[in-house]
A and B are shown apart, each in its own frame.
Chain A
Amino acid sequence: MLNHSFTQIFNQFNWEEVCSRINNSTEEDVKRALNKSGRLIPEDFMALISPAAKNHLEELINKSYSITRKRFGNTIQMYIPMYLSNECNNVCTYCGFSLGNKLPRTTLTDEEILNEVAVIKAMGYDHILLVTGEDNQKVGIEYIAHAIEIIHLHFAHISLEVQPMEKEEYEKLISFGLNTVLVYQETYHEKNYKIYHPKGRKSNFNFRLETADRLGEAGIHKIGLGVLLGLEDWRADSFFTALHLHYLNKTYWRTKYSISFPRLRPAEGDFEPKYPMSENELLQLICAFRIFDENVELSLSTRESQTFRDKIFELGITSMSAGSKTDPGGYASNIHALEQFHISDDRTSAEVAEVIRSRGFEVVWKDWDVVMQ
Chain B
Amino acid sequence: MDKLIIAGREFSSRLFLGTGKFGSNEIMKNSVIASGTEMVTVALKRVDVWKEEDELLQHLHLPQINLLPNTSGVRNAKEAVLAAQMAREALHTNWLKLEIHPDPRYLLPDPIETLKATEELVKLGFIVLPYINADPVLCKKLEDVGTAAVMPLGSPIGSNNGLQTRAMLEIIIEQSNVPVIVDAGIGAPSHAAFAMELGADAVLVNTAIAIAGNPIVMAEAFKLAVFAGRMAYKNNLASPIRVAMASSPFDLSLLDIN
> Which A residues lie at the B interface, using CB under 8 A?
69-75, 126, 156, 221-222, 249, 253-256, 295, 357, 360-362, 364, 366-369, 371-373
Report whether B75 and A373 are in contact in the complex, using a CB–CB cutoff of 8 Å: yes
Q: Which residues of B contact A254 (CB under 8 A)?
A: 75, 102-104
Partner of B211, one of A73, A126, A366, A369: A73
Q: Which residues of A contact B106 (CB under 8 A)?
A: 295
Report whether A368 and B45 are in contact in the complex, using a CB–CB cutoff of 8 Å: yes
Q: A70-B207, A75-B23, A371-B86 are known; give 17 further A-B pairs, CB within 8 A.
A: A70-B158, A74-B210, A156-B48, A221-B104, A222-B104, A253-B102, A254-B102, A295-B104, A357-B24, A362-B23, A366-B45, A366-B47, A367-B46, A369-B73, A369-B83, A372-B45, A373-B79
Q: Which residues of A contact B45 (CB under 8 A)?
A: 156, 366-369, 372
How many A-B pairs with Cβ below 8 Å?
80
Report whether A73 and B20 are in contact in the complex, using a CB–CB cutoff of 8 Å: yes
Most buried by A among B20, B45, B47: B45
Q: Which residue of chain B has the shortest Cβ distance to A74 in the bound complex?
A: B23
Q: Which residues of B contact A256 (CB under 8 A)?
A: 104-105
Report whether A372 and B23 are in contact in the complex, using a CB–CB cutoff of 8 Å: no
Q: Which residues of B contact A362 (CB under 8 A)?
A: 22-25
CA gap between A216 and B152 in the complex, in Å:
30
Q: Which residue of chain B has the shortest Cβ distance to A297 in the bound complex?
A: B104
Q: Is B61 an interface position by the 8 A CB rule?
A: no
CA gap between A360 and B160 in the complex, in Å:
22
Report whether A70 and B160 are in contact in the complex, using a CB–CB cutoff of 8 Å: yes
Decide if the interface of chain A is mainly helix, strand, loop or mixed: loop
CA gap between A70 and B20 in the complex, in Å:
12
25 contacts between A and B (CB under 8 A): A69-B211, A70-B158, A70-B160, A70-B211, A72-B21, A73-B20, A74-B23, A74-B211, A75-B21, A221-B104, A249-B105, A254-B102, A254-B104, A255-B104, A361-B23, A362-B22, A362-B25, A366-B45, A366-B47, A368-B73, A369-B44, A369-B83, A372-B45, A372-B75, A373-B75
Most buried by A among B20, B21, B47: B21
CA gap between A367 and B48 in the complex, in Å:
10
Q: Which residue of chain B has the shortest Cβ distance to A157 in the bound complex?
A: B45
Report whether B83 and A371 are in contact in the complex, using a CB–CB cutoff of 8 Å: yes
CA gap between A267 and B225 in the complex, in Å:
58
Q: Which residue of chain B has the shortest Cβ distance to A73 in the bound complex?
A: B21
CA gap between A75 and B158 in the complex, in Å:
14
Report whether B83 and A372 are in contact in the complex, using a CB–CB cutoff of 8 Å: yes
Q: Which residues of A contact B25 (CB under 8 A)?
A: 362
Report whether A371 and B22 are in contact in the complex, using a CB–CB cutoff of 8 Å: no
Report whether A73 and B210 are in contact in the complex, using a CB–CB cutoff of 8 Å: yes
Chain B nearest CB from A261 CB (Å) reads 21
Q: Which residues of B contact A69 (CB under 8 A)?
A: 211
Q: Is B82 an interface position by the 8 A CB rule?
A: yes
